[in-house]
């Protein structure tokens, strides 16, 4: 091995070591960032679940959830978080339940008691017209609270519509498409639950 090759290797080894260290550092940072993002998402989801499902539970919701894919009732895949207390079911939270809005998709969280009574509905994402369709959002008005306590048993099928369509739900002035979409999505969630209740808790 001549002198020039030795010099080349002597210069190359530190570069390779630095490159390896940088790669390890980037991997560690990426892993930490991904873990932090996942943790933040989990905390946000838990906050919404507590709003739509205000019950006491003692299980780990994120390890006691299932994914539903049923195009008859849901536009997209939906995660069902199952709340239990001492092993007994106390409710479920569906999210995201996607509704069709005037400007696109509206994402909802829907909470149900074991008896199929709505414990809460919240908008988690929407892009509806400001001052009109966006009033479906609980941060804009209390319209969404009109679902609380409703079920298939106490609200006949014909009532699951805005008043202008002969239903029992308040309509938003200048915005009918948004509430129609939300009502339809919530009703379909109830329909799905009524048929699949037993398997949801297994």
Residue 45 CB neighbours (<10 A): 20
Question: How far from each other are the two terminal CA atoms of the chain, in whole angstroms?
Answer: 70
Tell me: the pLDDT tens digits for 43-96? 778 899 999 999 999 999 999 999 999 999 999 999 999 999 999 999 999 999
pTM: 0.80
Averaged pLDDT, 95-117: 96
Residue 145 CB neighbours (<10 A): 12
């Amino acid at each position: 091995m001549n002198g020039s090759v030795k010099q080349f290797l002597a210069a190359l080894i530190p570069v390779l070591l630095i490159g390896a260290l940088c790669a390890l550092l980037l991997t560690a940072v990426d892993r930490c960032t991904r873990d932090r993002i996942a943790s933040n998402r989990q905390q946000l989801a838990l906050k919404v679940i507590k709003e739509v499902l205000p019950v006491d539970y003692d299980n780990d919701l994120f390890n006691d959830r299932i994914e539903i894919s049923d195009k008859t009732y849901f536009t997209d895949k939906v995660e069902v978080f199952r709340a239990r207390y001492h092993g007994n079911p106390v409710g479920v939270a569906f999210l995201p339940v996607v509704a069709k809005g005037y400007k696109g998709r509206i994402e909802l969280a829907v909470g149900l008691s074991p008896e199929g009574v709505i414990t809460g509905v919240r908008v988690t994402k929407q892009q509806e017209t400001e001052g009109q369709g966006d009033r479906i959002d609980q941060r804009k008005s209390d319209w969404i609270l009109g679902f609380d306590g409703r079920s298939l048993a106490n609200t006949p099928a014909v009532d699951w519509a805005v008043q202008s369509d002969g239903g029992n739900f308040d309509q938003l002035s200048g915005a009918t498409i948004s509430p129609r979409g939300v009502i339809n999505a919530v009703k379909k969630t109830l329909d799905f639950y009524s048929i699949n209740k037993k398997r949801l808790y297994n």
